[in-house]
């Protein structure tokens, strides 16, 4: 069936997805290519897709949750600024992982330079209302950090990436 001559629908030659759901279905390589070409929605889709993993990695690498949030935000900002520098020699997730590690290192260095420790009252106020659970988590984090401190930093990073974040050995 043909539409009347004046009412034919124009088909976009760019074949870009229409809505956010369409972008969510695209693969990373396609989104990266589109983001490098200036497609802001593709860049937004990449950020939304990878933000949870970036936040989780930052949380494992930095002890302070606020520092981890800062580092994750910094890593995602670097992604937006440096997407055109991604050469595709590795997977996008691997490249973003490196940006996140660098952002965590930068935030950690800034925090060590300031060398201030939050007050105990501030830490208590930040708990979720379950002091026993928070104490257990703090004890577990402390034990994990002590164990990781006993091995080489590169080995500790591999343990965190594999066991805590679920990366495959190929991704690491």
DSSP codes joined into one string, the chain: ----GGGPPPPPSS---SSHHHHHTS-HHHHHHHHHTT-HHHHHHHHHHHHHHHHHHHHHH-SSHHHHHHHHHHHHHHHHHHGGG--SSS-HHHHHHHHHHHHHHHHHHHHHHH-----HHHHHHTS-S-HHHHHHHHHHHHHHHHHHHTS-HHHHHHHIIIIIT---TTT-
pLDDT for the residue numbered 92: 96
Query: CATH 1.10.1740.10 residue ranges in the chain?
Result: 18-113
pLDDT for the residue numbered 20: 62
The architecture CATH gives domain 18-113: Orthogonal Bundle (1.10)
pLDDT for the residue numbered 60: 93
pLDDT for the residue numbered 17: 54
pLDDT for the residue numbered 96: 97
What tens-digit pLDDT sequence spans the chain (172 residues)? Answer: 454 454 444 434 444 556 667 888 999 999 999 999 999 999 999 999 999 999 999 999 998 899 999 999 999 999 999 999 999 999 999 999 999 999 999 998 877 666 544 544 455 555 556 777 788 887 887 787 777 777 877 787 888 888 777 778 777 7
């Amino acid at each position: 069936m043909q539409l009347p001559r004046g009412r034919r629908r124009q088909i976009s030659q760019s074949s870009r997805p229409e809505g956010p759901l369409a972008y969510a279905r695209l693969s990373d390589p396609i989104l990266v290519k589109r983001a490098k070409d200036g497609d802001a929605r593709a860049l937004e889709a990449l950020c939304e897709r990878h933000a949870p993993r970036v936040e989780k990695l930052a949380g494992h690498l930095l002890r302070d949750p606020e520092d981890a949030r800062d580092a994750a935000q910094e890593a995602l900002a670097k992604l937006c600024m440096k997407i055109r520098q991604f050469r595709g020699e590795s997977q996008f997730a691997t490249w973003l992982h490196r940006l996140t590690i660098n952002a965590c290192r930068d935030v950690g260095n800034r925090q060590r330079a300031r060398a201030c420790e939050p007050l105990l009252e501030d830490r208590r106020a930040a708990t979720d209302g379950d002091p026993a659970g928070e104490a257990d988590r703090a004890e577990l984090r402390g034990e994990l950090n002590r164990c990781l401190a006993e091995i080489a930093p590169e080995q500790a990073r591999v343990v965190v990436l594999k066991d805590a974040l679920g990366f495959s050995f190929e991704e690491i």
